[in-house]
């Protein structure tokens, strides 16, 4: 019952804070300005992540302090590292920091977490050597943090992918008897308040401060110790839950490397761009992705009840489905793009 009160507090604070942040952004001109790469029209306030983080931090700190089941000191490395990511991302949203500076800040934040004992411990029952576990976790957090930053290109998308992943993690923590489920649910509530203003057509964007913070939290929250079933398949579970953002980022890295462009350079070939080219509207593209994400979340929860081996089989099938989905979208997009180019050539001739 206490958890529900703090979930409600996080939601209410988020809903109340968004109009205030929109007003501040308009007053000081803090917009996500439209350009040829972006698919939104007009200039939209871009600091919605501030409301998410404010609502979450206030609610979770009070919850941690008033509960004996969660040790506030034990959670400090994650909260401090996430705070570093958030603060520098706000500065980046306003001043547009160099890519190297952003990478250094992320490396510092990831180091705080991994060298304080937060890392994956096993994969399919194989207990990882400590050095390998640190390297794997380091790359995981860094990659997922940037993946959620890159996927944030469509109204409601990053928030929806985040809230579903966090809610699923919260349910798994509840099933495993972990009090850390409260962190997941309280953060999810803060995102829900933001989505009330970010659902298309969006009145506010979360900005890099929001997407990087959420990516960092989604990457680090599963690193707490859990029960045997969750622990056994944890890495695969997280790959499935984050597959939209991770696969889209892998595709972007491959695409930009192939075209000899900087990895951090923007383009119009992300998943949502491809769906729009294929004829989906902004809303229908969002609904398709969210629908599939919900199915992935359901498969993850079902895998827990199936146990270690049968659960692993279901998770591998879900992972294979996502590989197939991205492959189909990729080749369909190539076909549609080629047809449009040929039609344009015929019209010009």
DSSP string, 14-59: HHHHHHHHHHHHHHHT-EE---TT----S-EE--HHHHHHHHHHHH
Confidence class for position 1, pLDDT limits 50, 70, 90:
low
Which residues have C-beta within 8 Å of that of residue 34, sequence separation ≥ 6?
40, 41, 42, 43
| Residue 313, number of CB atoms within 10 A of its CB | 12
Ordered DSSP codes for 287-339: HHHHHHHHHHHHHHHHHHHH-HHHHHHHHHHHHHHHHHHHHHHHHHHHHHHHH
Average pLDDT over every residue of 35-43:
59
**pLDDT, tens digit, for every residue of 193-252?**
999 999 999 999 999 999 999 999 999 999 988 777 888 999 999 999 999 999 999 999
Give Cα separations from 35 to 172, 267, 284, 308 (angstroms): 41, 12, 23, 48
Calpha distance 263→103 (Å, rounded): 12
Q: Report the share of the chain in percent with pLDDT over 90.
A: 72
The residue-averaged pLDDT of 158-167 equals 98
Distance separating alpha carbons of residues 247 and 289, to the nearest angstrom: 13
The first and second tokens of residue 88, run together, are 């520098």
179-206 burial code (b ≥16 CB/10 A, e <16): bbbbbbbbbbbbbbbbbebbeeebebbb
Confidence of residue 38 (pLDDT cuts 50, 70, 90): low
Q: What is the pLDDT of residue 271?
A: 95
d(CA 139, CA 10): 30
Looking only at Cα atoms, what is the longest distance across the chain?
Answer: 75
Amino acid 36: pLDDT: 54
Q: Which of 59, 301, 293 is nearest to 183 (CA)?
A: 59
Q: Is 340 helix (H, G, I), strand (E, B) or coil?
A: helix
Query: From the CB of residue 265, how many other CB atoms can be counted at a distance below 10 Å?
Result: 11
71 has pLDDT over 80:
no
Q: What is the dihedral of CA 220, 221, 226, 228, to 10 degrees?
A: -70
* Separation between Cα atoms, residue 55 and residue 33, nearest integer Å: 26
pLDDT at 41: 54
Non-local (6+) Cβ contacts of 154 within 8 A are: 39, 272, 282, 285, 286
In the prediction, which pLDDT does 293 show? Answer: 98
Please give the Cα distance from 158 to 46 (Å, whole number).
14
- CB atoms under 10 Å from CB of 66, counted, come to 11
Give me the mean pLDDT over the 60-72 stretch. Answer: 74
Q: 232: how many CB neighbours lie within 10 A of its CB?
A: 21
pLDDT in tens, 50-60: 999 999 999 99
Q: What distance in Å separates the CA atoms of residue 207 and residue 252, rounded to the nearest whole number? A: 20
If you compute the radius of gyration of the chain from its CA atoms, what whole number of angstroms results? 20
Q: Return the closest-CA partner of residue 219 out of 322, 78, 11, 69.
A: 78
Q: Which residue matches tokens 């990087």?
A: 212
Opening angle at CA 343, ends 332 and 326, nearest 5? 10
Among 4-18, 211-225, 252-266, the least confident range: 252-266
Q: How confident is the model at residue 75 (pLDDT cuts 50, 70, 90)?
A: confident
């Amino acid at each position: 019952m206490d958890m529900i009160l703090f979930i409600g507090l996080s939601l209410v604070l988020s809903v109340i804070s968004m109009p205030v942040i929109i007003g501040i952004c308009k007053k000081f001109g803090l917009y996500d300005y439209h350009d040829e790469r972006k698919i939104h029209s007009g200039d939209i306030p871009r600091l919605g992540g501030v409301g998410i983080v404010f609502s979450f931090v206030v609610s979770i700190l009070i919850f941690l302090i008033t509960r004996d089941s969660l040790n506030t000191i034990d959670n400090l490395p994650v909260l401090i590292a996430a705070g570093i990511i958030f603060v520098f991302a706000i500065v980046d949203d306003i001043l547009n920091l160099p890519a190297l500076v952003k990478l250094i800040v992320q490396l510092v934040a990831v180091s705080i977490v991994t060298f304080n004992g937060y890392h994956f411990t096993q994969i399919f029952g194989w207990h990882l050597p400590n050095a390998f576990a640190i390297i794997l976790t380091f790359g995981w957090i860094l990659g997922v943090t940037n993946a959620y930053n890159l996927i944030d290109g469509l109204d409601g998308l990053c928030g929806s992918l985040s809230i579903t992943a966090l809610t699923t993690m919260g349910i798994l923590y509840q099933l495993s008897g972990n009090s850390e489920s409260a962190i997941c649910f309280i953060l999810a509530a803060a995102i829900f308040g933001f989505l009330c203003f970010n659902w298309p057509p969006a009145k506010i964007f979360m900005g890099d401060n929001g997407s990087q913070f959420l990516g960092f939290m989604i990457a680090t929250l599963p690193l707490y110790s859990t029960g045997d079933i969750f622990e056994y398949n944890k890495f695969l579970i997280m790959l499935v839950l984050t597959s939209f953002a991770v696969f889209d980022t892998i595709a972007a890295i491959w695409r930009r490397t192939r075209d000899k462009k900087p990895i951090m350079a923007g383009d119009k070939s992300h998943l949502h761009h491809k769906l729009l080219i294929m004829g989906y509207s902004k809303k229908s593209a969002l609904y398709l992705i969210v629908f599939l994400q919900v199915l992935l979340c359901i498969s993850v929860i079902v895998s827990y009840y199936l146990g270690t081996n049968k659960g692993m089989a279901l998770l591998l099938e879900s992972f294979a489905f996502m590989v197939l989905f991205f492959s189909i979208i990729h080749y369909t997009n190539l076909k549609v793009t080629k047809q449009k180019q040929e039609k344009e050539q015929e019209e010009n001739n």
